Chain A
Amino acid sequence: MRRFKVLKGLIIDSLDTITQGSKKYHIWMGFLTLVMLIGMYCYSIQIEHGLSVTGMSDRVSWGLYISNFTFLVGVAAAAVMLVMPTYVLKDIDFKQAVLIGEGLAVAALIMCLAFVVADMGGPSVLWHMIPGIGVFNFPNSMLTWDVIVLNGYLFINISIPFYILFRRYQGKVPNPKIYVPGAILSVFWAVGIHLVTAFLYQGLQARPFWNNALLGPRFLASAFAAGPALIILVLAIIRGFTEFKIEDKTIKKISMIVTVAAQINLIMLVSELFKEFYAPTHHSESAYYLFFGLHGKTALLPWIWTAIPLNVLATIMLTFGKLRNNLKVLYFCCFILFVAIWIEKGFGLIVPGFIPGPYGKIVEYMPTGIEIGVTIGIWALGAFIFTILAKTAIKIETGKLRFKAK
């Protein structure tokens, strides 16, 4: 019975926490709500008129939604880079960051699911996919694998922080015997979600641009660069706005992870470019389209030629310890690296897979206003969820929020 009482107290207290705050906090949340409402409005138009209000067509049948989905799976997976050292290797430096990382994973996963639902032609019949009631084409379809691993990962990342915070809330110390096995599981699981998502594309013999063995590993490398880069930026913001103490040491350790992952990612990029352009075959046409344009169709050039220099610049700057240890430079590097990988792993990966089409037809893709509205709305939803989670977690962690037995 006592547990229920504590749970009730936790829920009421966290509701109090998230509805109270400084003026800046209220403006921030109000702004996010507005953006979400605009996104919902755009989505309602899409529901009414169908996916024809997006830029997608029979020739390019996945676009902005699936691009963002792919990228965000990576961000979610990257939380593990903080979980592993903290729980398993007992590295105290990360302890402050890990709850933030897991909160970020939860927000990213919810965004992933929202993007997939937004991309569906028939969201009202999505119950067809629920095992038991519907027909679940497991193990043949990689999409069903993805459904399993994403939801499983969401469950793990909600339950571990919840257990820890629930104990802290009562002023007790969490029992490592309970949460460390879960943490270890989530380490493997994180690699799993990203590999499975890569296999989604990698397994299609129809699309030579995706059907290449490096896709999965490169997904991992870029995810472990972009995810922690985002965590560094978030930690920097939290440091500036709350009294939650995050030491420079922690941020610098995470920046090491970003650096190594970005370097590996760059090596793989070089290997990919070499394969596509040293002895180009018919199967290199998508890469040609992406980097140089094909038959005068050049819609992706501005994107990729923004991403590649940013990526290279960030990696080089991060490689030099002097630059990396200067926090201002580090934040800048993390920001441009994040943008670069968002372009590369989103737009730069999904769209060229469809161009040229199976018979060489080139039809370009440009997202419409409605599509962009829904996308920004979902990003706002992610930020909203993360803010709520982080605010409660920080208050409990700093000891301000405690269960008061009446």
Chain B
Amino acid sequence: MSDNKKWFSLNLNSAKKESSGSCSCGKTSGGCGSHAKSQISDEEFDNAVDTAIGDERKRDGFDQVFDVQMDRRTAFRKLTASLLIGAGAVSTSCSITTGEESKEKAQIDWEEQFKGNYKLMTNDEKKGTVDRLVRSYQLRTGKTISMTSENAEEDVLFGYAFNISKCQGYMDCVSACVEENNQDRNSQMQYIRIHEMKDGEGFKFDEADDNYYHEVPAEGHFYMGTQCFHCDNPPCVEVCPVQATWREDDGLVVIDYDWCVGCRYCMAACPYDGRRFNWSTPEVPEKEINKNQHYLGNRMRKKGVMEKCTFCVQRSRKGQNPACVDACPTGARIFGNLLDPNSTIRWVLENKKVFRLKEDLGTEPKFWYFMD
């Protein structure tokens, strides 16, 4: 964790200048023009949504559970099924002759519920919880995953650079990220947001569209991606009441999903919209699950916990690039070790005019933007 500054200091000897955009805009009105370029009209879109989800969206959770059309037969079937499940649960928990497997399952669940914070675990304990999680997954689904718990390597500090001139808004990085990191498909959770901005107006995030559905690159626009910036002085880490999130020695800001209590204070503290919350149980179709996992990275999450970009810790600690970097067709994304003088990222920082977002907040992001 070294000697992180907890205060803001002016970076007086630096020649870097932050571009306007985040803070100097005094304009407070005007349309955001987000749908101006949309391929289908709003009306068509609404109709399509209506046919797709119909009255589902008018009903809130209560109605969705209770206001379900059901004939007597299905009702009976459901009642019987739930009775059987209940009876089964009672018999397994009380019986002394239950199968080895369910006993093992219960044992794992118990140990997982009362394990400690990953940050404070020894290497053996880390391995223990990883083994339990792998075994638990095997018992539940019959499939084997590989999960690791590599620690940060020495003399590694990860950094990222984004070439604004190159990005064309294809969003391949977004889909690669979703697939790599097993994000919830239901709520369409995405770590990366690509902001479409108008040429000639500078970085006007408030007028940019980060949720477009049209052909790119759209004429007269440029694109800029944001995600977790893995700040060196991360406000989200400071505010967590249980230290469920922290900065690793290689600079990655990570979360122990099993230690998080879901208060969402970190979400309020993040100035970069870098954090996501599992509002319901995340769902990923079994065949789409990425089985190469890391405890701090893309392993399956549960409902009610935070998650975020980890620079694909399961890949980066094995010396690979994050999925977004590999997926980018234009080469706009550059990732590497900031402590290695021969790395591409160092070349970019030394030879390009780089800047970071909201530098005035003193968060020291390890994510730089530059232009050709």
Given contacts A121-B305, A359-B208, A360-B207, contact A49 B61 (CB under 8 A): yes
Closest to B239 in A: A141
CA distance in complex: A238, B8 (Å)? 53
B46 to chain A, nearest CB (A): 17
Do the beta carbons of A284 and B281 come within 8 Å of each other?
A: no
Do the beta carbons of A129 and B208 come within 8 Å of each other?
A: no
**Counting CB contacts under 8 A, is B117 at the interface?**
yes
Q: Which of B205, B239, B242, B362 contacts A134 (CB 8 A)?
A: B242
Question: What are 25 of the A-B contact pairs (CB < 8 Å)?
Answer: A49-B61, A50-B278, A50-B279, A51-B279, A53-B60, A53-B62, A58-B279, A120-B262, A122-B304, A129-B261, A134-B242, A135-B117, A137-B240, A137-B243, A142-B239, A144-B241, A205-B235, A206-B270, A206-B272, A207-B268, A280-B28, A359-B273, A360-B205, A368-B61, A370-B61
Q: Which of B65, B264, B280 contacts A50 (CB 8 A)?
A: B280
Do the beta carbons of A206 and B269 come within 8 Å of each other?
A: yes
Do the beta carbons of B362 and A205 come within 8 Å of each other?
A: yes
CA distance in complex: A288, B27 (Å)? 11
9-residue interface stretch from A172-180, A332-340, A349-357: A349-357
A-B contact count (CB 8 A): 179
Closest to A359 in B: B205
Find chain A residues with CB under 8 A from B362 CB.
Answer: 205
**Counting CB contacts under 8 A, is A93 at the interface?**
no
Do the beta carbons of B240 and A119 come within 8 Å of each other?
A: no
CA distance in complex: A266, B259 (Å)? 43
Count of residues in B whose CB is under 8 Å from the partner chain: 65
CB-contacts of A177-224 with B (<8 A): 200-201, 203-207
Closest to A51 in B: B279
Find chain A residues with CB under 8 A from B363 CB.
Answer: 205
Do the beta carbons of A284 and B28 come within 8 Å of each other?
A: yes
* Chain B contact residues, CB within 8 Å of chain A: 22-26, 28-32, 60-62, 65, 113, 117, 119-120, 187, 189, 193, 195, 204-208, 210, 226, 235, 238-244, 258-265, 267-273, 276-281, 303-306, 361-363
Do the beta carbons of A135 and B243 come within 8 Å of each other?
A: yes
Do the beta carbons of A143 and B265 come within 8 Å of each other?
A: yes
Find chain B residues with CB under 8 A from A42 CB.
Answer: 62
By DSSP majority rule, is chain B's interface helix, strand, loop, or mixed?
loop
CA distance in complex: A33, B237 (Å)? 41
CB-contacts of A239-290 with B (<8 A): 280-285, 288
Count of residues in A whose CB is under 8 Å from the partner chain: 61
CA distance in complex: A144, B265 (Å)? 11
CB-contacts of A110-154 with B (<8 A): 116, 119-122, 124-126, 128-129, 134-137, 140-144, 147
CA distance in complex: A94, B331 (Å)? 73
Do the beta carbons of B242 and A129 come within 8 Å of each other?
A: yes
Interface centre among B32, B207, B239, B278 (most CB of A within 10 A): B239
Do the beta carbons of B238 and A57 come within 8 Å of each other?
A: no
Do the beta carbons of B239 and A122 come within 8 Å of each other?
A: no
Find chain A residues with CB under 8 A from B361 CB.
Answer: 205-206
CA distance in complex: A280, B306 (Å)? 34
Closest to A205 in B: B361
CA distance in complex: A118, B263 (Å)? 10
Closest to B241 in A: A143
